[in-house]
Structure 1
Amino acid sequence: MTLRAELSVPDKAVEPGGMLSADLHVWNEGRIVDAYDLTLLGPPGEWGERRLGQLPVYPGMHERIKIPITVPRSGALQPGPLVFAVRVASVQEPFPVAVPEAEINVGSFRAIEAELSRSQTAGRLFGSNLITLRNTGNTAVAVRLRTAPQDEKAPLRSRMRRSRVVLGVGEKARIGVALRPARPALVGKAENWTVKVTAEWDGDANRERAFTYRRRPLLTPGASRVAMVLGAAVLAAAALWISPLGGGTRMPRTQTAAGPAQLDQVNAAEAKARQEQQKKAEDERKNEQADKAPKKRELQHPLFVQTTSGTKNSAYTVEEGYQLRLTTVQITAAGTGVLLLSADGKPLGSVPLSQAKDITPKIPVVVREGRKVRMTVQCAEGTSPAIPTLPSASVSPSAVPTAGVEACTATALVTGELIPDKGSASKDDAAKEGAR
């Protein structure tokens, strides 16, 4: 028994986070029908499902299967050629094994994470903050830093300790932001100003962060009240000294409301800042939950049936939390009988085994969570010469054709998209379906 296999991928570079499709061709140069176990080797086998199922091939013929590969967006994945392979092993005999290899041309990408040490800082004559930059791409990147108050009329000057920095893969740097009020306030209420910090690279890529600088007056509200009381006492003493009777008509005491009103404003500003911090924490929590939500992904699942008489089926059940948008079913079959294909309990097509062909619905068929895509083979009893096969780990002895009975075999490759039932991906798809 002879086996030959070839593996090929597109020559163009694939940026991490992108997808490509590899073509696997398998030739059966033996004399009997055989099926082959397909296993993905190398790093692509660690990125997703290693086992690709079985591929039946008739004697003297060959079959082709497309293998979708998603390259992870990780800084640990260096740009350049990446070798992988597919192990093709016969299920009938232990010896025929082929391991064709191919290279994925991994491209480069640049990505920067930027985080501020504090969301709010305060001071009277100056202030400072720190921004931490980390290179999460797979190649070195030169970053340019800028800072400025959000309001151009703000009485505040800001500058970066370093305006440029080069980060290698996985490296991080901490750069200081220095602040100085242009006109320090002696008394009055505290003022909040928003300061922006921008990190730019590759011309148009950037990360922008902002924090609040709270400019406080040189004299605290308590010191201001003490100064006001002392001033009032000095004025009262001077008036008493000038009066002929050592006094004169007493002036009614007045109490200014500036102190309590200023304190209330400070407390209100602090409460507002706490609310903003709580809102930011809630937004970060929601974003983290959104990142952990299921993502839309491609599906290729093989179905295989082999029988000598009666009815036998093979089915794929849609995973929990997903719905399947079925686009194409590639079918290869042989024998005397009928092949029926259904999705979510609804028929997609029925065709004689000898006339089997691919099924592509004009409108994508949606299969809900927990429902099945089922391939059923109704094999007619016959007396034509049988094609001998041997039992294997994936085919039960009862399914092996006996002498004088023609075997009915069928394989189907279910292709489509798994879409989360909940989340942005499913909402976007639902909007597209409504537009149609």
Structure 2
Amino acid sequence: MTTSAHLDASPAAVMPGDEIRIPLELRNSGNIVEAYGFEVVGPAADWTVVEPPTLSLYPDTAGTVHLVVRPPRDSTIPPGELAYAVRVRPQEQPEHTTVPEGVLDIGAYADFGAELNPRLSQGRTGARFQLAFDNRGNHPLTISLSAKDQSDALRFTLPSTATVVGPGQAAFVRVPVRARRRMWRGMPTPHPFQVTAAPAEDGVAPAVLDGTLLHRPILSATALRALLAVVALLAALAVIWFTLLRPAVRSAAKEAVKGPVQAAESKAAEAKDAADRAAAGGGGAGGSGKPSTGPSAGASPGTGPAPQAQANLFSTRLTAEAGTGASKSATYTVPDGKVLRLTDLVLENAQGDAGTVTFSVGGKPLLAPALENFREQDFHWASALLAGPKQEITITLSCRTIGHPPATPTPTTCSSSALLSGTL
């Protein structure tokens, strides 16, 4: 053989995303000038090059080229030893091709992410949250969960075993959160909490995720008003029964039995007179009298309270659209001489946009939730929000990222709506 090639037999250590240079020594033991070409074979061929790509050697001389190895930071490249080879092909005498072999020692790296979805949820007893884990490293991660809230008002249901996430994979874990005590009435109360996702591997920082449970009362303002209306109706029915229907029923019953009772009393009186005459040995025929009937008492119905005047119901919808990085507003102005009592507000984010929507009354911002935290969110106030004559109710949409609803064309602007309800 006129060509010899040599690679170091010991494994060459390299981390994904880094670069190493491995020398390849060549010797031309022939008697002609030879030019050599190189071809890397094996899994490392996609991210390994030879510098220089060709080499010419005079007879009985040696030279060196370098393999530049750049494994990408990709989860598809597992850690451990990886064999490779280089095909050294002489151009003048290709039959003397040689293939030296070597070994790479690919290092392990961790790249871990976690997200809590949604960050804000609401419920009368609790709500369900979901943790999403993303392992962008090249080896499996074992993740343990813990959760806490500062006021110790919440109870968390966490998995009893750790979650294992493979390289390049995602995992989802449901985390039900419940309030320790029931709230029957009052204003919704926010309870912030934190969930910690800690990988078992040393050197990987845990992810601390913030969330909030908005604890709503079991009896909302609407349900309480309905309950009071039912109680008032039952009370009115009770008053009607005891003041009108019950006396009328008693009077009708008395009138129904009055005739038979009088007839029985008349027959009893006649029988007594006959018995008295028979005992006395005779007697004149007694006259029989008819009992007189007294006037019957009639019940006159009472007069109930006059119905109250119904308030004018109010409902309107505001929609704001804005491009990426822009802000747009939609406004409703209360008519002159009118007062708007706002009791219900529903915010909509149908496209799944990212940004903020600010709700203002009379130029004063009251709410500014992040769009990415909801698709539909409702607010109800037992004490209505008041807007006076000519005051403006405004929603301002600040678009950061336009959403992409599934199975629909990609929208060109962010879009958010608000449904306002109350009385005017």
TM-score (normalised: structure 1): 0.50
Find out whether 1:272 has 2:369 as its counterpart.
yes
Q: Deviations over 1:136-190 (max 9, x none)?
A: 54444432111234xx247433341335234566776543312112343333443
Aligned residues: 279
Q: Distance in 1 between matches of 2:96 and 2:12?
A: 32
* Counterpart AA for 1:162: S
Gaps of at least 5 residues in structure 1 are 238-245, 286-436
Residue 175 of structure 2 aligns with which residue?
Answer: 177
Find out whether 1:282 has 2:379 as its counterpart.
no
Residue 344 of structure 2 aligns with which residue?
Answer: 263
1:65, distance to aligned residue in structure 2 (A): 2.2
The change in CA–CA distance for 1:189 and 1:74 in structure 2 (over 3 A counts) is same
1:5, distance to aligned residue in structure 2 (A): 1.3
Indicate conservation of the 8 Å contact 1:146/1:159, yes or no: no
Residue 223 of structure 2 aligns with which residue?
Answer: 223
* Counterpart AA for 2:344: L
1:4, distance to aligned residue in structure 2 (A): 1.4
1:104, distance to aligned residue in structure 2 (A): 0.6
The change in CA–CA distance for 1:274 and 1:166 in structure 2 (over 3 A counts) is closer
Instruction: Among all aligned residue pairs of Structure 1 and Structure 2, give the percentage whose two residues are the same amino acid.
Output: 25
Residue 364 of structure 1 aligns with which residue?
Answer: none
Residue 190 of structure 1 aligns with which residue?
Answer: 188
* Counterpart AA for 1:182: R
Residue 125 of structure 1 aligns with which residue?
Answer: 125
Matches within 5 A, 1:353-392: none
Q: Distance in 2 between matches of 1:10 and 1:262?
A: 76
Residue 79 of structure 2 aligns with which residue?
Answer: 79
* Counterpart AA for 2:369: K
The change in CA–CA distance for 1:59 and 1:195 in structure 2 (over 3 A counts) is farther
* Counterpart AA for 2:175: V
Residue 92 of structure 1 aligns with which residue?
Answer: 92
Provide the secondary structure at the position in 2 that maps to 1:223: helix
Indicate conservation of the 8 Å contact 1:39/1:87, yes or no: yes
1:76, distance to aligned residue in structure 2 (A): 3.9
1:7, distance to aligned residue in structure 2 (A): 2.0
Computed over aligned residues only, the root mean square deviation of the Cα atoms, in angstroms, reads 4.8
Q: Distance in 2 between matches of 1:2 and 1:183?
A: 87
Q: Distance in 1 between matches of 2:74 and 2:9?
A: 21
Q: Distance in 1 between matches of 2:198 and 2:8?
A: 38
Q: Distance in 1 between matches of 2:156 and 2:193?
A: 8
Indicate conservation of the 8 Å contact 2:110/2:136, yes or no: yes
The change in CA–CA distance for 1:31 and 1:138 in structure 2 (over 3 A counts) is same
Q: Deviations over 1:266-290 (max 9, x none)?
A: 88599724255699983999xxxxx
The change in CA–CA distance for 1:219 and 1:136 in structure 2 (over 3 A counts) is same
Residue 158 of structure 1 aligns with which residue?
Answer: 156
Matches within 5 A, 1:242-253: none
1:17, distance to aligned residue in structure 2 (A): 3.4
Q: Distance in 1 between matches of 2:99 and 2:84?
A: 10
Q: Deviations over 1:237-259 (max 9, x none)?
A: 9xxxxxxxx99xx9x9999xxx9
The change in CA–CA distance for 1:12 and 1:207 in structure 2 (over 3 A counts) is farther
Q: Distance in 2 between matches of 1:20 and 1:73?
A: 14
1:213, distance to aligned residue in structure 2 (A): 2.9
Q: Distance in 2 between matches of 1:44 and 1:280?
A: 45
Matches within 5 A, 1:9-408: 11=11, 13-47=13-47, 53-116=53-116, 118-133=118-133, 135-149=135-149, 152-153=150-151, 155-162=153-160, 164-167=162-165, 173-201=171-199, 202-205=201-204, 206-227=206-227, 260-261=341-342, 263-264=344-345, 268=359, 272-274=369-371, 276=373, 282=401
* Counterpart AA for 1:79: P
Indicate conservation of the 8 Å contact 1:41/1:50, yes or no: no
Q: Distance in 2 between matches of 1:128 and 1:66?
A: 57
1:27, distance to aligned residue in structure 2 (A): 1.6
The change in CA–CA distance for 1:10 and 1:195 in structure 2 (over 3 A counts) is farther
Q: Distance in 2 between matches of 1:84 and 1:147?
A: 47
Indicate conservation of the 8 Å contact 1:75/1:138, yes or no: yes
1:194, distance to aligned residue in structure 2 (A): 4.3
Indicate conservation of the 8 Å contact 2:50/2:65, yes or no: no
The change in CA–CA distance for 1:234 and 1:50 in structure 2 (over 3 A counts) is farther
The change in CA–CA distance for 1:203 and 1:194 in structure 2 (over 3 A counts) is farther
Provide the secondary structure at the position in 1 that maps to 2:173: strand
The change in CA–CA distance for 1:48 and 1:194 in structure 2 (over 3 A counts) is farther
1:218, distance to aligned residue in structure 2 (A): 1.3
The change in CA–CA distance for 1:42 and 1:270 in structure 2 (over 3 A counts) is farther
Q: Distance in 1 between matches of 2:57 and 2:403?
A: 52
The change in CA–CA distance for 1:130 and 1:139 in structure 2 (over 3 A counts) is same
1:98, distance to aligned residue in structure 2 (A): 1.9
Provide the secondary structure at the position in 1 that maps to 2:45: helix
Q: Distance in 1 between matches of 2:235 and 2:208?
A: 54
Q: Distance in 2 between matches of 1:51 and 1:90?
A: 16
1:37, distance to aligned residue in structure 2 (A): 0.8
Q: Distance in 2 between matches of 1:38 and 1:121?
A: 61
Q: Distance in 2 between matches of 1:13 and 1:49?
A: 17
